[in-house]
Amino acid sequence: MEIIESPQEMQRLAESYRKAGLAVAFVPTMGYFHEGHLELMREGKRLADRLVVSIYVNPAQFSPGEDFERYPRDFERDRKLASTVGADVIFRPSNAQMYPPGHLTYVNVLAMTGRLCGESRPNYFQGVTTICTKLFNIVKPHLAVFGKKDFQQYQVIRRMVLDLNLDLEIVGLATVREEDGLAMSSRNVYLKPDERASALSLVKSLKAAQELYDRGERDSRTILERVRGMIEGHPGCGIDYAGIFNTETFEDMERVEGQAVLALAVKVGKTRLIDNHVFGEELRF
């Protein structure tokens, strides 16, 4: 497994893969791997001849006061985990390489980024779409694999790739959960034992919403009252947002009809967690 830090070196290697007729899969990450990351890598390995994984904690997607400085980092641990799933390359650029002095160019996807995480984290999606565009141009993948836990991010990236005619496929994988149902996240390490118990209210509320849907309930307000009540009934939980949205536009839906996603962002203590469920799909935990 190669470790590459230079964007130019990564571009040269990616171009050599393409000239050799090798399909390249890409998994962009901020590191501190968990099983969810590894599952994305396994899928990339299954679908392509070469797997490139990036590790870069992107400052442009953090707002002032967020956890950029304390975001968990452990490169040696990540290197070992990536090697267990057969990653061919870890691309590990520096801030100076990704945002050189005088950097002025950013990528924005309008409309669908102004809600949910984009409302509570104003810099987030501009940072995500900009860094993904840069990484796609450096790694030159044929496909990139994203987890659907970050459902809005997944849909925004799909829209960006379509709108900009980027020459790659975006592959989405279902949320990977721990045995108790908590969606896997690098931020789970922040949770204290009592906070982890409260964090389970997210997945429990998703399950309760699906059960209401299965019994024929379609009124979003009724479903959300149940969801909010379950989450707010747990100590230390503060809801950032809890809503039912169209899966493509992220507009509010008064009734659960067609493609609808229940999306949550909740602060448990000081830790912000997200989760979601598309109605009608299977929710396992």
Helix (H) or strand (E) holding 199: helix 193-199
pTM for the full model? 0.95
Q: Is 263 helix (H, G, I), strand (E, B) or coil?
A: strand
Name the average pLDDT for the chain: 96
Considering 34, 37, 103, 234, which one is annotated as catalytic? 37
pLDDT of the residue at 181:
96
Alpha helices in 48-123 (DSSP H): 75-84, 95-98, 117-120
Residue 234: active-site member: no
Phi then psi for residue 255, to 5 deg, are -130, 145
pLDDT of the residue at 122:
87
Phi then psi for residue 199, to 5 deg, are -60, -25
pLDDT of the residue at 285:
73
Show the tokens assigned to 264: 């949550």
- Distance between CA 36 and CA 21 in Å, rounded? 29
pLDDT of the residue at 120:
85
pLDDT of the residue at 123:
87
Phi then psi for residue 16, to 5 deg, are -65, -35
Residues 88/13, Cβ–Cβ less than 8 Å: no
With a cut of 70, list the residues of the chain below it in pLDDT: none
Spatial neighbors of 40 by CB under 8 A, at least 6 apart, are 27, 29, 145, 146, 147, 173
Residues 44/145, Cβ–Cβ less than 8 Å: yes
Residues 231/273, Cβ–Cβ less than 8 Å: no
